[in-house]
Amino acid sequence: MKRALLLALAILSLVLLGCPPKEGGTSSAGNEILVGEYASMSGPQATFGQTTHEGITLAVEEINAAGGINGRKIKILLEDDQSKQIEAANVVTKLISQSNVVAVLGEVASSCSIAAGPICQNYKVPMITPSSTNPEVTRKGDYVFRMCFVDSYQGENQANFAANYLHAKKAAVLVDVKSDYSTGLSEFFQGRFKELGGTIVANVSYANGDSDFKAQLTRVKAANPDILYVPGYYTDIGQIAIQARDLGMTQPLVGGDGWESPKLIEIGGKALEGCYYSNHYFADDPAPAVRDFVTKYTVRFKQKPGALAALGYDATKVLANALKRCAKIDGPTLRDEIAKTKDYAGVTGTITLGPDRNPIGKKLVVVEIKNGQLALAATIDPNAPATGATATTGSGK
Ligand code: PHE
pLDDT recorded at residue 395: 39
Distance 181 CA to ligand 1 centre (A): 8
Q: Are 270 and 241 in contact (CB under 8 A)?
A: no
Distance 4 CA to ligand 1 centre (A): 48
pLDDT at 391 over 70: no
Tens of pLDDT, residue by residue over 294-310, are 999 999 999 999 999 99
Q: Please identify, by atom number, the ligand 1 atom nearest to the C-alpha of residue 280.
A: 9
Tens of pLDDT, residue by residue over 16-53, are 444 444 455 555 456 999 999 999 999 999 999 999 99
Tens of pLDDT, residue by residue over 118-141, are 999 999 999 999 999 999 999 999
Ligand 1 probe mutation, 132, 139, 147, 153, most atoms within 8 A of CB: 132
pLDDT at 11 over 80: no
pLDDT recorded at residue 29: 53
Q: Please identify, by atom number, the ligand 1 atom nearest to the C-alpha of residue 111.
A: 12
Mean pLDDT in residue range 63-85: 98
217 band by pLDDT with thresholds 50, 70 and 90: very high
Distance 237 CA to ligand 1 centre (A): 14
Residues with CB under 6 A from ligand 1: 48, 108-110, 131-134, 181, 257-258, 260, 307-308
pLDDT recorded at residue 209: 85
pLDDT recorded at residue 383: 81
The whole-angstrom distance between residue 28's C-alpha and the CA centroid of its chain comes to 32
- The protein residue with its alpha carbon nearest to ligand 1, atom 7, reads 131
269 band by pLDDT with thresholds 50, 70 and 90: very high
Tens of pLDDT, residue by residue over 45-63, are 999 999 999 999 999 999 9
- The protein residue with its alpha carbon nearest to ligand 1, atom 12, reads 109
pLDDT at 388 over 50: no
Ligand 1 probe mutation, 38, 136, 182, 257, most atoms within 8 A of CB: 257
Mean pLDDT in residue range 273-291: 97
191 band by pLDDT with thresholds 50, 70 and 90: very high
pTM of the model: 0.92
